[in-house]
Amino acid sequence: FSTLIAVVLGIAFGMTGWSKVWPLFGAANQLLAGLALLAVASWLKNAARNHRMLVFPMIFMLIVTLSSLLITFCAKVKVLCAGAGDMYGPGLQATLAGILFILALFLVREALPVLKNGLKK
């Protein structure tokens, strides 16, 4: 079922409006890199190995990417509130930026205890 959803969304965006979500692709790509650094740093900390080499790049990537998503979200909401945009363009971008931002914050919140103390066994 999930494959069907991905295929249908891919076809829909490809045929109608890939340019509507393209501005968020860069932020989503960089967010994925930051979250990958977060996952590897958490894994290394849990394995009692040196994880500090990943902390500063991870923090930088997450701060820059989350700032970009927040700025995009606020800008698109302003456009919608001014009545200058439709739900398919700015509305879709604001929704996706908000979802990415909230999910990233949730993952960071879940990983912080591991990065501080490691997992309790």
| pLDDT of the residue at 69 | 93
Q: Give the residue ranges of DSSP H helices in the chain.
A: 2-12, 18-46, 52-81, 92-117
Contact by Cβ (8 Å): 72, 24: yes
Q: Does some domain include residue 11?
A: no
Write the pLDDT tens digit of every residue in 53-74: 999 999 999 999 999 999 999 9
Q: Does some domain include residue 7?
A: no
Structurally, the chain folds into a number of domains equal to 1
Q: Does some domain include residue 49?
A: yes
Structural domain containing residue 28: 18-117
| pLDDT of the residue at 93 | 86
Write the pLDDT tens digit of every residue in 25-53: 889 999 999 999 999 999 999 888 888 89
Write the pLDDT tens digit of every residue in 86-104: 766 788 888 889 999 999 9
pTM, entire model: 0.79
List all residues 6 or more positions away from 97 whose beta carbon is below 8 Å from its beta carbon. Answer: 24, 27, 69, 70, 72, 73, 76
| pLDDT of the residue at 121 | 54
Q: Does some domain include residue 6?
A: no
pLDDT at position 19 over 80: no
**Residue listed under structure tokens 């965006």:** 13
Tokens coding 87: 């739900």
